Structure 1
Amino acid sequence: MSDGLGHAASGMLASMFQPLHASPDRAIGEHRHILVTGSRVIVRVEASGSARALADPEARAILGREPGDLILGRLGNVHYWASRLPDDQSELSFLDGHRVGDLRSLHGALSDEEWNIAGRATQMLEWQRDHQFCGRCGTANEAVLDTRALRCAADGTTVFPRLSPAVIVLIERSDGRCLLGRNRGWDVPMYSTLAGFVEPGETLEDTVRREVFEEVGVRVDGIRYFGSQPWPFPNSLMLGFVAEWVEGDIAVDGEEVIDAQWFGPADLPMIPPSMSIARKLIDDWLERQT
């Protein structure tokens, strides 16, 4: 990415993961498994403290059956599968050598690639569970070969995995300060870039302008694309932008955003962790201030 956004090129790395829709030959390559129970994922913990997806024998022992309900894709020579366990298996937290946790708690333990794959698994299994039956006639849906879709056996209604696009934007001012806001729902005194969902019929740029004005009362322009990030909480695609302040004083909406301020590099508050595109936007802005 040009336009002076240095971190977009280095921070938003291209994934080497190849999605698959048809099940591969189980005899070819290595196979690893993402097991999901409720909103939690089961992983293997190594002696170093790092975590990884489960090998065939491990997944089989935990499930008590053959693993691999859904093929996710391939990373190099490793095929990744997703399987769901009953949501009420609380005893899984005591599995020797394993860890059960939500995706946020597993960030940094899993590799970045496997963390993203685990996010795919939770999204896809939730989508399958929510669309077992046709929303029009109630007939059971069936998987469509060679594509990621479910189709009604009676009337042909086809549903695809749900994605909810949302913009996330860092607003900067010519005096070297950026605008960050604090969300009502956060338990910690953290400030972050502003974000909001795209409305039907909107361009992404219009969403940026609308969300910023609704949440903090300022006008922006000079909107530049930064990068994107899948965000499986539960099914968002975050589209990052940098925008320039044009006019207006901060006036928070008091509903979603309870405080917003202009910050410089020397007085930044608590900001989001490295897993998020919000942090990458802030880190990019910091780099450009030096």
Structure 2
Amino acid sequence: MFEPGNTPPEAASPGLVIVFQSGQLVSDMRSPEPVLLPEHDVGHGGWQVRQQQFLGLWHGKPLYALEIDESSSLDPMRFQRGNLYQVLGRIDVPLFSLAGRAQQVLAWERDHRFCGRCGSEMTLDQGERAMRCSPCGITNYPRIAPCIITLVTRGEHMLLARNANFPRPMFSTLAGFIEAGESAEETLVREVKEEVGVEVDGIEYFGSQSWPFPNQLMLGYFARYTGGDIVCDPTEIAEADWFHYSDLPPVPPASSISGQLIRAFVASQQH
């Protein structure tokens, strides 16, 4: 169980670390929880820590996000580096969420070292997750980009699309960023129309997921097709089509909210 926090306990027991190097996640190939490393690995490996953020408690143990120096040597027989996509679907959802949280807070601290208003160096607040500028008083918190992600359905069929910028031959649900002044539902209607040319209504909220690519919050919905022919925006969508729930192309894993939407619809049609 994870208990989020900003301030480490004063009498901390040996903890755990989620380690990044050059922006890539360091995984222990011998561990059943490969993204969680014992804190003593840092000292034993002689790793030089460039950034450290306390995340909270994992089953009562202090948990930290670390960025180690590029010069720190990793044992190739035990550790491997890669991006978060490489562990998606291979580790439990809670661990993937923790790794995503770690990556986001490290990137946020790195990108807010200096004040955007006056240029002074920012300092990390010890009481809450914030970067503060003493000269001008501005405070920066980790920024989250809200997005909608929706499964459009028509009877026993669902509309799935292949992203033009995604290398794998995978079909997924439609998604887009919420713009200033929009509600999530307005974004959904606009994005579906822009990306595939169809109209929808009957919007139903499904759930949300933190999506660390790089800092999104995905708001998941179902929507019902009401009209229009599929016309793909070629800059976003390589191809899109209607698929019967019993005959699907390759789709995202259940660890992603897109995969969860698809599986929930399939389950609803099988009962």
Unmatched 5+ stretches in structure 1: 1-15
Is 1:216 equivalent to 2:196 in the alignment? yes
What is the CA distance between 1:17 and its match in structure 2?
A: 2.2
> Matches of 1:276 and 1:262 in 2, distance apart?
21
Amino acid at match of 2:62: H
Amino acid at match of 1:233: F
Amino acid at match of 2:98: I
Runs of 4+ in 1 over 4 A off after TM superposition: 65-68
Amino acid at match of 1:115: F
Aligned equivalent of 2:166: 186
> Matches of 1:50 and 1:33 in 2, distance apart?
12
> Matches of 2:56 and 2:259 in 1, distance apart?
28
What is the CA distance between 1:108 and its match in structure 2?
A: 4.5
Whether the aligned pair in 2 keeps the contact of 1:60 and 1:66 (CA below 8 Å) is: no
> Matches of 1:63 and 1:111 in 2, distance apart?
29
Unmatched 5+ stretches in structure 2: none
> Matches of 1:173 and 1:204 in 2, distance apart?
21
What is the CA distance between 1:135 and its match in structure 2?
A: 0.6
State the number of aligned residues.
270
Matches within 5 A, 1:79-228: 79-86=62-69, 88-89=70-71, 92=74, 94-174=75-155, 176-228=156-208
Match of 1:235 among 202, 215, 236: 215
Is 1:56 equivalent to 2:39 in the alignment? yes
Aligned equivalent of 1:21: 6
Aligned equivalent of 1:283: 263
Deviations 1:188-232 (A, max 9, x none): 221110000000110000010000000011111111110111111
> Matches of 1:172 and 1:139 in 2, distance apart?
51
Q: What is the root-mean-square deviation in Å for CA atoms of aligned residues?
A: 2.0
Are residues 177 and 108 of structure 1, via their aligned partners in 2, closer, same or farther at CA, if it must alter by over 3 Å?
Answer: closer
Aligned equivalent of 2:54: 71
> Matches of 2:68 and 2:35 in 1, distance apart?
18
Match of 1:33 among 3, 6, 17: 17
> Matches of 1:89 and 1:120 in 2, distance apart?
24
Is 1:266 equivalent to 2:246 in the alignment? yes
Is 1:45 equivalent to 2:29 in the alignment? yes
Are residues 186 and 68 of structure 1, via their aligned partners in 2, closer, same or farther at CA, if it must alter by over 3 Å?
Answer: closer
Whether the aligned pair in 1 keeps the contact of 2:112 and 2:122 (CA below 8 Å) is: yes
> Matches of 1:222 and 1:61 in 2, distance apart?
57
Question: Residue 51 of structure 1: SS of its match in structure 2?
Answer: coil
Are residues 148 and 55 of structure 1, via their aligned partners in 2, closer, same or farther at CA, if it must alter by over 3 Å?
Answer: same
> Matches of 2:243 and 2:124 in 1, distance apart?
50
Are residues 109 and 192 of structure 1, via their aligned partners in 2, closer, same or farther at CA, if it must alter by over 3 Å?
Answer: closer
> Matches of 2:158 and 2:90 in 1, distance apart?
31
What is the CA distance between 1:172 and its match in structure 2?
A: 0.6
What is the CA distance between 1:260 and its match in structure 2?
A: 1.0
> Matches of 2:23 and 2:47 in 1, distance apart?
20
More contact order relative to length (CA 8 Å, sep ≥ 6): 1
> Matches of 1:63 and 1:123 in 2, distance apart?
25
Are residues 138 and 224 of structure 1, via their aligned partners in 2, closer, same or farther at CA, if it must alter by over 3 Å?
Answer: same
Task: Give aligned-pair identity as a percent.
Answer: 39
Question: Residue 210 of structure 2: SS of its match in structure 1?
Answer: strand
Are residues 89 and 83 of structure 1, via their aligned partners in 2, closer, same or farther at CA, if it must alter by over 3 Å?
Answer: same
